[in-house]
Amino acid sequence: MLVTGREILQDAHKNNYAVGAFNVNNMEIVQAIIEAAEETNSPVILQASQGGLKYAGVEYIAGLGKIAAYNAKVPVALHLDHGTDFDQVMLCIRHGFTSVMIDGSRFELDENIAITKKVIEVAHAVGVSVEAELGKIGGTEDHITVDERDVTFTDPEEAKRFVEETNVDYLAIAVGTAHGLYKGEPKLDFDRIKTIKEITGIPLVLHGSSGVPEESIKKAVSLGINKINIDTDLRVAFAAAIKDFLKENPDNIDPRKILGPAKYAMKEAVMEKMHLFGSVGRA
């Protein structure tokens, strides 16, 4: 069933587990995620980034996401990932998204608070949950790049003020992860996660989670991370399956045959994440 991000993440927050938020761009990815969620009886968040909206168009993403959610046997939220401006957030709300991120992390604190409050005023009035970002997470997510030297870890005192002044539903924090493929092993600032959780008391979001060691993910969840964003690991699974299939079947021209194994590989990858995050059986 289609629910808000808040409904899913408040339960995760209360019961100390995390829910996967997986980036979607086409039908096969949506189907893989929903099949994984139903097979493990796990709540799940389908999310579209700037690139996903540009590639498929908001109508297709919203249409696929809502149809999938309406027919799913588990709670599903449809989320805008890294929304960069007010108008785009409003467009997604109009198309039925049940959760939106307004990513004001490129602004100074006061401006980030102001844009977040403006989005929350509208979103909450129509029952849509809101994620914001404080601190600057490195790496590249589609069209958003933060250079390593610009990475700024989230300041717990600023987080306290941010949450009090905006009433945001969940907060993406910069604690050592980065978007995209890692060159080295990411080192998470666990003390910072713990302090921000204690000081804000709301669900926390980890971006750039692909490639983070499983032990680090488990520890981050135990300290209060409740939404874990995954895009790159699904891309890796998808691409490897396609390459393998075409190596074995170079003359096959049927998209259903070519995309089928990729869908299965992504479903397996999603189920692994759901077990790791602790959301299995929580639907």
> Residue 155 touches which of ligand G3H, Zn ion, none (CB < 5 to 8 A by kind)?
none
Between residue 165 and residue 184, which ones bind ligand G3H under the rule CB under 6 A?
179-180
Cβ nearer to Zn ion, comparing 141 with 169? 141
For residues 90 and 118, the answer to whether their CB atoms sit within 8 Å is: no
CA distances, 63 to each of 24, 38, 155 (Å):
12, 19, 38
> Residue 180 touches which of ligand G3H, Zn ion, none (CB < 5 to 8 A by kind)?
ligand G3H
Between residue 60 and residue 119, which ones bind ligand G3H under the rule CB under 6 A?
81-82
Angstrom distance (rounded) from CA 23 to CA 229 = 8
Burial zone of 182 (CB within 10 Å; 0-12 exposed, 13-18 middle, 19+ buried)? middle
Piece of 28-36, 90-98, 204-212, 245-253 that binds ligand G3H (CB under 6 A): 204-212
Cβ nearer to ligand G3H, comparing 20 with 156? 20
Angstrom distance (rounded) from CA 83 to CA 81 = 6
Helix axes 232-248, 255-277, angle to 10 degrees: 140
Angstrom distance (rounded) from CA 240 to CA 279 = 26
Cβ nearer to ligand G3H, comparing 35 with 233? 233
Query: Going by C-beta distance under 8 Å and a sequence separation of 6 or more, which residues neighbour residue 165?
Result: 113, 117
Piece of 106-114, 149-157, 213-221, 228-236 that binds ligand G3H (CB under 6 A): 228-236
Cβ nearer to ligand G3H, comparing 179 with 282? 179
Between residue 127 and residue 146, which ones bind ligand G3H under the rule CB under 6 A?
141
Among 75, 203, 208, 261, binds ligand G3H (CB under 6 A): 208
Angstrom distance (rounded) from CA 132 to CA 46 = 17
Return residues touching Zn ion (CB under 5 A). 141, 207, 229
User: HSE on the CB side for 283, CA within 13 Å?
Assistant: 24
> Residue 209 touches which of ligand G3H, Zn ion, none (CB < 5 to 8 A by kind)?
ligand G3H
Binding site for ligand G3H (CB under 6 A): 23, 49, 81-82, 141, 179-180, 207-210, 229-233
